[in-house]
Amino acid sequence: MDKAMYAIEVENLTKIYGKGDSAVTALADASIQVKPGELVAILGPSGSGKTTLLTCIGLINEPTHGKVVIDGTTVADGGWHGGIDLKRMRREKLGFIFQAHNLIPFLTARENVMVALEINNFSRNEAKARAAELLVSLNLGHRLNNYPSALSGGEAQRVAIARALANKPKVILADEPTAALDTENGRNVMILLKKLAMENHSAILVVTHDHRMVEGFDRIFHVSDGRIDTEKYNSES
């Protein structure tokens, strides 16, 4: 199978919540393409529709109209594409990073990464080794057996990044990944994401409202009132 040119392709994506008079258009005719290895930001104020865009690409929210293609597989085309296994797609193609790290509190740092691997049918030993390798690469080798409650905000977010990367996904979706961090830690996370995008050849789509954090991104989309207004290349920002 030929390698897809784009990791993410969104065409004329529309999401309408509710029906009739109470219908609210959260996203209208959004179109973006992200190449593998690209780091892309979606900027916009609260309620602008950026998280809706992320959830439609992340196969969490069913689009009302439009097309979503992930790594060459059409997942939505005016609603979910027939026969598509959303969970499997999420498991195999997507990695998620959340605003709060969303680590499982009763698992250690290593186990939090292992869980993503084990649900993808990695053997226990393989999962254990890969989780340790990932965490060591993110300078968390000394925190393997710590529970999330014993980690700092920055460390917890790095564990979350390791979990998102565990299955070597084609697409990483990050929802306000720096919102719970101080400026320095936030900046470090963004630098890390940039590095990982290049190293892993993954497309990384980051939703944020913080302009200061998008320094070094390849492209930046501005969203307001459910529409993608402008697209900037890094050299322009």
Partner 1 sequence: MNLALRDIRYHRGRFILTSIGLGLLLGVVISMGGIYRGLFADALAVLDSTKADIWVVQQNTNGPFAESSRIPEDIKYRIKLVPGVAEASPLSFQTIQIEKMGKPFRFFLIGYDTNGFGGPPEIVAGRNIRQKHYEMVVAKAMKMDIGEKIHLGLHDYTVVGITGKVVSSGGDPAAYVSLADAQDIQFKKDNDAIRNDRERIGTNLAAIQSISPSQAKYLKQNIAGITESTHTVNTIVARLAPGANLHEVQELISRWNHFRPISVEEQTKILTKGMIEKARMQLGLFRIILLVISAVIIALIIYTSTLDKIRVIATLKLIGSQNRVIIGMILQQSLLMGFIAYFIGYGLILLTYENFPRRIVLEAFDLQVLFVIVIAICTISSFVGIRKALKVEPAEALGG
Q: How far is the CB of 28 from partner 1 (least distance, A)?
A: 20
Q: Which of 10, 57, 94, 138 binds partner 1 (CB under 8 A)?
A: 94
How many residues at the interface with partner 1, by CB under 8 A? 38
13 with 30: CB under 8 angstroms? yes
Q: Which residue number, 173 or 218, has a Cβ lying nearer to partner 1?
A: 173
106 near partner 1, judged by CB under 8 A:
yes
Q: How far is CA 59 from the centre of its chain?
A: 11
91 near partner 1, judged by CB under 8 A:
yes
| φ and ψ of 111, to 5 deg | -65, -30
**Spatial separation of the C-alpha atoms in residues 211 and 27, rounded to whole Å:** 21
Q: Which residue number, 94 or 156, has a Cβ lying nearer to partner 1?
A: 94
Identify which range of 8-16, 47-55, 213-221, 227-235 contacts partner 1 by CB under 8 A.
47-55
Q: How far is CA 139 from the centre of its chain?
A: 21
Q: How far is the CB of 114 from partner 1 (least distance, A)?
A: 6
Give pairs for 53-56: CB < 8 Å, separation 24+: 53/10, 53/13, 53/27, 53/207, 53/223, 54/173, 54/175, 54/205, 54/207, 56/10, 56/13, 56/15, 56/27
48 near partner 1, judged by CB under 8 A:
no
Q: How far is the CB of 237 from partner 1 (least distance, A)?
A: 26
Q: Which residue number, 102 or 237, has a Cβ lying nearer to partner 1?
A: 102
Q: What part of residues 174-213 is at the interface with partner 1 (CB under 8 A)?
A: 175-176, 179-180
150 near partner 1, judged by CB under 8 A:
no
Query: CB under 8 Å to 132, separation ≥6 — which residues?
Result: 110, 141, 144
Please give the residue ranges that form the binding site for partner 1 (CB under 8 A). 51, 54-55, 58, 60-61, 87-92, 94-96, 98-100, 102, 104-107, 111, 114-116, 118-120, 124, 127, 147, 163, 175-176, 179-180
